[in-house]
A and B are shown apart, each in its own frame.
Chain A
Amino acid sequence: ETGVTQSPTHLIKTRGQQVTLRCSSQSGHNTVSWYQQALGQGPQFIFQYYREEENGRGNFPPRFSGLQFPNYSSELNVNALELDDSALYLCASSLMTQETQYFGPGTRLLVL
């Protein structure tokens, strides 16, 4: 059984650019949640995907968007990057009926 994996591990972008982060869920998990974790803060919920559809969203602007694929892997897309988007982006997978979320190692994004 493989755990949650994310790519890339690190990324540097400039303001105004677009970025795509990827997540492979743990085997058998059909739900993926994305979080933003700024330095020294707890994770902030961005949105959740279940069976390829968005299933709940936090207080993030529309330039944060996502996708889930038939194999339950997921992408997080951020358009028009801002300096404050610099953070660790975490992906977590789970079974919809269970509370337990298993996190990947995260992608650290730096926006210059």
Chain B
Amino acid sequence: GQQLNQSPQSMFIQEGEDVSMNCTSSSIFNTWLWYKQDPGEGPVLLIALYKAGELTSNGRLTAQFGITRKDSFLNISASIPSDVGIYFCAGRSNAGNNRKLIWGLGTSLAVNP
């Protein structure tokens, strides 16, 4: 199935460090979403972006909707051990009646206390 290019695939960082991950698409999206998934659980929405250039924060998390509408990034500042998990980007084009979310492969984050 169709998937977004998400990088990096995995990260291992020290507690307190900042983290940056990004997602790119070959097509234009109208919505970008960032989710976090813990083992054995469903994804939890972190940030939703609906407008090109939009920059939105949720606590230590900040995400931006790229100007070209083909990319997005997520930053986590001052990482803590509970940030461990898999982070997914997801996008939707809204073309026609398309309600399908396209997902990245995820970025696995490990934080060393």
Q: Contacts A48-B99, A101-B101: A58 and B44 contacting too (C-beta < 8 A)?
A: no
For window 19-73 of chain B, which residues contact chain A by CB distance below 8 Å? 31, 33, 35, 40-45, 48, 50
Q: What is the size category of the interface that chain B forms with chain A?
A: 20 to 34
Known: A42-B3, A45-B100. A99 touches B43 (CB 8 A): no
Complex: chain B residue closest to A48, CB-CB: B99
Within 8 A of A (CB), among B59-113: 88, 90, 92, 97-106
Residues B42 and A44 in contact, CB atoms below 8 Å apart: no
CB closest chain-A residue, reference B6: A42
Contact with B along A55-90 (1 / 0, CB 8 A): 110110000000000000000000000000000001
- Taking Cβ atoms with an 8 Å cutoff, the residues of A that contact B are 4, 33, 40-45, 48, 55-56, 58-59, 90-92, 99-106
